[in-house]
Amino acid sequence: MSEKLDFNTPALLRYRKMRYLKDRMTTAFVGVGGWSILTAILLIFAYLLYEVMPMFASAEMKQSASFSAPANSRAMYMAMEEQNEVALRVGDDGQAVFFSAEDGSVTSTIDLPFSAPVMVTAVSTMSESSRLMAVAADNGEVILAKHNYLVSYPNDVRVITPRLEYPYGDAPIVLADEALTSVAISDGEEALYVAGSNGSELFVKVFAKEEDFLSGEMTLEEVDVDVPNLDFKARDMAFDADQRWLFVLGERYLTIINMASAVDGDIEVHAREEVPNARSMEMLLGGISLLLGYNDGHIEQRFMVRKPTGWQMELVRSFEGDANGDVSGIITEQRRKGFLSVQDNGQVNIYHSTAHRHLLSERFTDTAVESWALGPRATALLLEDTAGTIHRIEIKNKHPEVSWHSLWEKVWYENYQEPEYTWQSSASNNDFEPKLSLTPLAFGTLKAAFYAMLIGAPLAICGAIYTAYFMAPALRRKIKPLIELMEALPTVILGFLAGLWLAPFMEDNLASIFMILVFMPIGVLLASFGFAKMPAKFRFLVPDGWQPALLMPVILIVGLICIESGDYVELLFFGGDMRTWLTNEAGIPFDQRNALVVGIAMGFAVIPTIFSIAEDAIFSVPKSLSYGSLALGATPWQTLVGVVLPTASPGMFSALMIGMGRAVGETMIVLMATGNTPIMDANIFEGMRTLAANIAVEIPEAEVDSSHYRVLFLAAFVLFGFTFLVNTTAEIIRQRLRKKYGSL
């Protein structure tokens, strides 16, 4: 009679308790690890959103004070200094009043040095940032004055002392012998231009600048010019920044006067554009774009474009306003391509030109606005209405440059012949128009990944298939670790070699490179075909699975022949230089650091990743499946295609997706081997700039919390989203493949 086993002995109970404890601890640790990874990904996602979302916040305007104007005269011009604490008001009585921009208290009053008591009829500035203004009077005189502000800190308290300066003397310039209704000024390095109109006539004075060699003193020499006649009533006028054009706005027409030869005494009417119902005009920051305000509230942006037939004024974009109010004035920002419009019904609108955005509309007074001043930082606005009340308005508008249009669509930038996709985030001065299009960066990212996968994926997949299925086990144990060891090579080394050695080598041996791409597969196939036709007694001398070793000398010989014969091929077919032939004859631009270099270097980097995962997937296919297929009479190739590859397809697809993710996120190789040119061109001989490389290059230099800084985080968010989308799609497809072929 058999003895009954006791499973409840103390030793077994302790063993089961310990095993249960280990199982629970392992489950907890794995769960914590998994949730930690998910939490880290969500935190990255949240942080990117935290940096990006402020760009899409709405603009805000809020009235903070209201006080009476510091003088009883009619305001002709107002301006504010940097800190929004002191403002200037020029009245029609010829007095310049500096006052507090917070409560209206007067700081100082200055009489402009006209030759006699006058009424000021027009005031114009070269640009708000220059602070140089031309003040015209009813006796035809013009005073050139500049308002400056001295900042000091006695006892650690900021004190702003305003002053009015006359850079060319306090003697008035006599433009006409009657009242001027409009005036314009342009001060350049070589000449000073002053223009005015009494409504029906145009008056222009040109002063050539001469600098004394010894003293450095600047003197003005007046140049006699022939002024064209106007056959319409002029409302406003303005010079462009280069002193090439003078724009004169009439009741129905915009006249464009060519001032390029004004220093030689020659000016002429270049063109006349019909602009019915245009009421006001202002030059945008930089002096390139002209803003025209109409009596139905909308504003047009125009600038001169060089065409094959000559210079032509182009309508670039239009901005809508309140259709029930005329545009009585346009206020341009001093540091961005933004502007405000003031309508005669009291409506104030904020726009940005490049982003093509109408950001905000608010009304702060029930009467018409007579004069206005915008702070240099565009954070404060003064409005004086016809009742003599000044309204101080605080503005919050940090990132007007960003919109879907400016980020992803073609934009017609200033000085460009047509709309384009362009990334150029900074320049040397504030007049620059930021070009923040992410489209060329996204295109460059996909272009680099495409060429890398085009070169790397076939080699990695085919190598994985042969290594896992056909290669001898002893040779596989040597080859696989060597290929996986390639992944340990730092990408900065690959980028360094690609930029400093591979790119010049390919440029000098371009024909040889293409010969290798064409003749290397042919050479391998011919060698394999020749080996297959050899007598069996010779073929059997090579152990099964070691045949790839015979291809090593074939590859070396074919490569050597292609490199040595490249010069002769170039001489025979391409006039001795394939690169020159591509550029001059075929019309294909060639850059030394191009997509072909990146494809080879980055393909080399992704091969180990794809190879390792794909090889493991193929090798893991149960041998019983392949043995069963072979036992039923299938050839090894039929077994590979019909059984092994379908079963391993989920893992192979994962390998390709992970390799693509590696190519999309690669930084150092594309940074060092592409030339970093953000252009949209599929040409394999042109470079590109990727999202990752752009972030690496520009984030250290970007001003924290600026639009540029946040757009770089948006680029990171796009890159994160793209890889997340690719990986999610890959996982869905992989699961479907597993379900489909899991029953094999």
CATH of the domain at 155: 2.40.128
Close Cβ partners of 314 (under 8 Å, ≥ 6 residues apart): 302, 303, 304, 305, 412
> Are residues 709 and 55 in contact, defined by beta-carbon separation less than 8 angstroms?
no
Is residue 35 in some structural domain?
Answer: no
pLDDT above 70: residue 3 = no
Give the pLDDT score at 49: 92
Quote the CA–CA distance of 345 and 326 in Å, as a whole number. Answer: 8
Half-sphere exposure of 569 (CA within 13 A, CB side): 17
Is residue 16 in some structural domain?
Answer: no
Averaged pLDDT for residues 82-105: 93
Averaged pLDDT for residues 651-666: 87
Rounded mean pLDDT of the chain?
Answer: 88
Which of 123, 154, 180 is the C-terminal boundary of a domain? Answer: 180
Give the pLDDT score at 430: 67
Q: How far is CA 134 from CA 89, 142, 460, 487, 694, in A?
A: 14, 6, 72, 68, 45
Quote the CA–CA distance of 514 and 507 in Å, as a whole number. Answer: 11
Choose the weakest-confidence range: 204-213, 682-691, 694-703, 731-740. 731-740
> Are residues 58 and 74 in contact, defined by beta-carbon separation less than 8 angstroms?
no
Give the pLDDT score at 265: 81
pLDDT above 70: residue 744 = no
Q: At what angle do helices 510-533 and 548-573 cross, to 10 degrees?
A: 140
pLDDT above 90: residue 290 = yes
Close Cβ partners of 591 (under 8 Å, ≥ 6 residues apart): 675, 677, 685, 686, 687
Total domains in the chain come to 2
DSSP 133: E
Give the pLDDT score at 7: 66
Binned at pLDDT 50, 70 and 90, residue 433 comes out as: confident
Give the pLDDT score at 450: 92
Question: Residue 450's domain is classified under what CATH number?
Answer: 1.10.3720.10
From its phi and psi, is residue 257 left (phi > 0), alpha (psi between -120 and 50) or beta?
beta
Binned at pLDDT 50, 70 and 90, residue 183 comes out as: very high
Averaged pLDDT for residues 44-53: 92
| pLDDT tens-digit readout, 487-503 | 888 888 888 899 889 99
Is residue 204 in some structural domain?
Answer: no
Which of 180, 209, 240 is the C-terminal boundary of a domain? Answer: 180
pLDDT above 80: residue 2 = no
Beta bridge partners of 642: none
Averaged pLDDT for residues 206-219: 78
Question: Phi, psi (5° rounding) for residue 637?
Answer: -70, -40
Is residue 307 in some structural domain?
Answer: no
In this prediction, what percent of the chain has a pLDDT beyond 90?
Answer: 43
Give the pLDDT score at 730: 80
Is residue 384 in some structural domain?
Answer: no
Give the pLDDT score at 4: 60
Write out the residue range of the structural domain in which residue 86 sits: 61-180
| pLDDT tens-digit readout, 357-401 | 999 999 988 888 889 999 999 999 999 998 889 999 999 999 999
Is residue 463 in some structural domain?
Answer: yes
Which of 156, 180, 204 is the C-terminal boundary of a domain? Answer: 180
Higher pLDDT, 282 or 430: 282
Question: Phi, psi (5° rounding) for residue 523?
Answer: -65, -40
Binned at pLDDT 50, 70 and 90, residue 137 comes out as: very high
Residue in the structure block whose two tokens are 């955005």: 357
Is residue 700 in some structural domain?
Answer: yes
Is residue 595 in some structural domain?
Answer: yes
Residue in the structure block whose two tokens are 């109970």: 13
Give the pLDDT score at 382: 94
Averaged pLDDT for residues 10-38: 87
